[in-house]
Chains A and B, each alone.
Chain A
Amino acid sequence: MSGILMPKPDAATLARRAEIVADMRIIVPGEGVVETINEMRAFESDGLTAYRQLPLVVVLPETVAQVSRLLKYCNERNIRVVPRGSGTSLSGGALPLEDAVLLVMSRFNRILEIDYPNRTVTAQPGVTNLGITTSVELDGFYYAPDPSSQIACSIGGNVAENSGGVHCLKYGLTANNVLGIEMVLMNGEVVRLGGKHLDAEGYDLLGVMTGSEGLLGVVTEVTVRILKKPETARALLIGFPSSEEGGQCVADIIGAGIIPGGMEMMDGPAIRAAEDFVHAGYPLESEALLIVELDGPAVEVDHLIGLVEAIANRNGATTCRISQSEQERLTFWAGRKAAFPAVGRISPDYYCMDGTIPRKELPRVLAGMRELSEQYGLGVANVFHAGDGNLHPLILYDANKPGELEKAEAFGADILRLCVKVGGVLTGEHGVGVEKRDLMPEMFNDIDLDQQMRVKCAFDPNHLLNPGKVFPQLRRCAELGRMHVHRGQVAFPDIPRF
């Protein structure tokens, strides 16, 4: 495992493993408990495969009552729990702990209700993102957030990570498309937040839960908003001699009041890797390639394509192709969608980063990345959700060369520091997890992190749910709860005391 420190395993829990496994079999009868090393191997890692750890035991409950009993049991006995959906996290959010029960939600795989008048789908958390769309697409509806892992990732995991996708500038992230959840707290209490109505009463705990990376509660039901499919979609494929021109084109499109359904950019190395792989007809001489997808009624799409084409030409586009058929639109996308495996062909391994920057800083950040690339002696290819400034640098390395993974990680950390330095953030959609945990102080000071941890304390005061993720340092809730009284140092000393 790479050099990140996880919480020290609790010796007492490890010693009681047999007893805990037996109790798990009582809580989840049948085949829901996995405990042999061979069988547990399948769960030792998530999408961030550089990190591996066998859990104490794997439990796959089937009912909310089982989840509630399991969490209550663990809470009372001070046993840690790591929740897991489909295990596609790219930040190690579902990385097991040696002394923790791995709570796998994949058997919660049913669609519970489709409600067209209210345009909602209620699903169990293990249903895949794409499964939601599949359940309603014959009637012309879909669920808008579309992370690239949508064929596998679960809707419960989407809530935990506040997942995005290529369409989220126009249609929002998970947080903007989820209406309600049912969840179980670490103490076993079942609470419902929101529902089919549009806003929750009281504090926006649904907003807090979305993107909380499995540290606050275990989601057992999700209600999402579905949308009618746009009538049509067409794409433009635009090549530029440099990222400056490409970036300015994006700014001008938005400046013209156009929010495209999708707007993706690739840099030279990514263009060439993708073209070699799928032969989508990408312009190999370009240093920046923009895919702009416009969706809606045909008359609107045609109108906007004209506007975007003119903007592209004003910004020095060297090529500009407009899809004339659904087949051609998909071809334009094929290279972008295959960018990761394409990079996988030119390098034994790659490491995918996920920072967001103010878009105008793109040329500066790309230049900085080129410098770092030389400094570390590792290549980098960039794909970029251009509309919202979300960068996915792919660092090329070879895990079989000693020290190269560590080098790639250090390179990645420097890229994220650069993102923060120019006014951006550490992660746009992949989450903090274990991967970016120790970089959190780059963005937040101790007081900022304390406030986030106090949210944790309100939900799980014993730090039993998914510890070792998100927060670089765990502070005891009792210690965090103490008030620091500032009496005597305040700016209004003349105010009468009572």
Chain B
Amino acid sequence: MSSFLAPLGRGAERSEAERGDTHTMTTFTPATAADILSAVQWAAAEEAPLEIVGHGSKRAIGRPQQAEHTLDLSKLTGVTLYEPAELVLSARAGTPLAEIEKLLADNGQRFDFEPMDYGPLLGQVPGRGTIGGVLAANLAGPRRLKAGAARDHILGIHAVSGRGEAFKSGGRVVKNVTGYDLSKAMAGSWGTLAVATDVTFKVLPAAETETTLIVRGLLDDNAAAAMSIAMGSSAEVSSAAHLPERMAARVLDGKLGGDPATLLRVEGFGPSVAYRLGQLRQMLGNAGPLEEVAEDASRALWRDVRDVRPFVDGSDKPVWRVSMPPANAHHMVLALRMQAACDAFYDWQGGLVWLSMEGEPEADLLRGLIRQFGGGHATLVRATPAWRASVAVFEPQPAALAALSARLKAEFDPKAILNPGRMVHSPDSASLAAATEGAMP
């Protein structure tokens, strides 16, 4: 059994499997940043690749890895600083996200970027995942349109690079331009540059109330127009999604019915929400029948959109996450439907398209259409290990950009010991070094 599929050895400092085999698997479960440093220094000295894991809730995203050893951060827990009035929170990287979100909610605050939960889509229980994973995967949710992603709210980190060096970047204040923003470099790096040990995020007040206006019955192109009108207004819509026919029946336990539903979320103080809903009703009065869901039902609805509930079916059918110019996305989907059977729904006004493919992933077809309709990128977030090994899970980059990314990787992890091969097919350390030196003579 490869380490990729092996269950985590918990409790013990290391668990050895297949004793006597040349490939001894070790799981490190350090409880301090100092032990993480030691583990990475050991791995760097031995050139022994490590898979970096929190709860493992997103472990099935990326190319299957060949790491022989596991660095399990789930014991490195605890909120180390929370000052609601300063709008900052620091925690050790293995702290459960659910625990932090509860602490914030108890204080009337939240992560404005609304980190999604990949668990259900990937066949796991919901509610798992660590704060370190939030940064490594640069998570976001439907409020991305207005509030950004994890990368927009990270203020500082402590981390250990693949060189086995412990460093910090950023700070614990909400406005800071001192030195290079290495915290952002970690966002979306999937543990391939450094192992974060502590993270500091900006937190914000939770909205007093929220209501979602739903326009029913729109085809994709009309929905795109409606969302564009709403987002271009001063109604301060914080999320805009479109669930085409049949997709709407797969959220809120089917309560919406199957007709297409275009969702516009309005959040804030009560009087303001009421006024802005009125504005939207006026703007979209002729678009189609209007409905409203408020408060907890609205929150549940957006949680279902956030966590890709329409495609949570227990299968491993290929699911793509496509990032595109919001108003262009429906053109791409229409063109794709002509050539491949798929289901689709839109978040971020169309800027995020979730696609579930009936058959093969059709990576080349999809990526070609994305280029044709305004650019962007596609990530194969769910697929069998075989597909993930043969198809580029993350969008391949043009040569100059790929070389730049490889040089950055080589600077932080010259021995390629951190999650090797997860984002791009792993070159060995020799060719990484060549990328560093060769590209700029």
Contact = CB atoms under 8 A, between A and B. Distances in A.
B300 interface: no
Given A201-B323, A485-B44, A462 B440 contact: yes
B181 interface: yes
A23 to B, nearest CB: 20
B169 A452 contact: yes
A388 B171 CA distance: 13
A280 interface: no
Nearest to B272: A300
A203 B176 contact: no
Chain B: interface size category: 35 or more
B394 A481 contact: no
Interface in A168-205: 168-169, 172-173, 175-176, 185-187, 189-193, 195-205
Contact of A452 (B84, B180, B271, B323): B180
Interface stretch (B285-293, B354-362, B396-404): B396-404
A401 interface: no
Interface in A377-397: 385, 388-390
Contacts of B268: 296, 300
Contacts of A451: 161, 165, 167, 169, 182, 412
A486 B180 contact: no
Contacts, number: 322
B84 A498 contact: no
A29 interface: no
A448 B275 contact: no
Contacts of A490: 38, 41-42, 45
A211 B271 CA distance: 39
A484 B1 CA distance: 34
Interface residues of A, number: 112
Contact of B185 (A75, A208, A304, A495): A208
Given A187-B439, A459-B404, A486-B164, A492 B39 contact: yes
B46 interface: yes
Interface string B328-341: 10000000000000
Contact of B148 (A168, A172, A210, A457): A172
A303 B408 contact: no
A300 B85 contact: no
Interface stretch (A41-49, A54-62, A223-231, A261-269): A223-231
B176 A425 contact: yes
Interface string A245-263: 0000001001111110000
Contacts of A164: 175, 177
A303 B188 contact: no
Given A118-B326, A201-B394, A175 B184 contact: yes
A254 B87 contact: yes
Contacts of A200: 188, 377
Contacts of B151: 199, 204, 207
B236 interface: yes
Contact of A388 (B38, B173, B184, B232): B173
Interface stretch (B98-106, B204-212, B250-258): B204-212
A485 B35 CA distance: 17
Contacts of A202: 188, 394-395, 397, 401, 405, 423
Nearest to A179: B325
Interface stretch (A79-87, A407-415, A427-435): A427-435
B165 A208 contact: no
Interface stretch (B58-66, B124-132, B138-146): B138-146
Given A195-B375, A205-B404, A257-B208, A450 B165 contact: yes
Contacts of A444: 168, 179
A362 B14 CA distance: 48
Contact of B234 (A120, A169, A228, A449): A228
B53 interface: no
Interface in A350-409: 356-360, 385, 388-390
Nearest to A229: B234
A423 interface: yes
B271 A458 contact: no
Nearest to A460: B440
A454 interface: yes
Interface string B2-39: 00000000000110000000101010100000010011
Given A118-B327, A498-B48, 17 more contacts: A117-B232, A141-B232, A169-B174, A175-B184, A197-B326, A198-B323, A203-B193, A204-B184, A210-B184, A256-B205, A296-B236, A423-B173, A427-B178, A447-B165, A450-B165, A486-B44, A490-B38
Closest 7 CB pairs of A and B: A207-B184, A300-B272, A257-B205, A117-B327, A491-B38, A201-B377, A196-B325
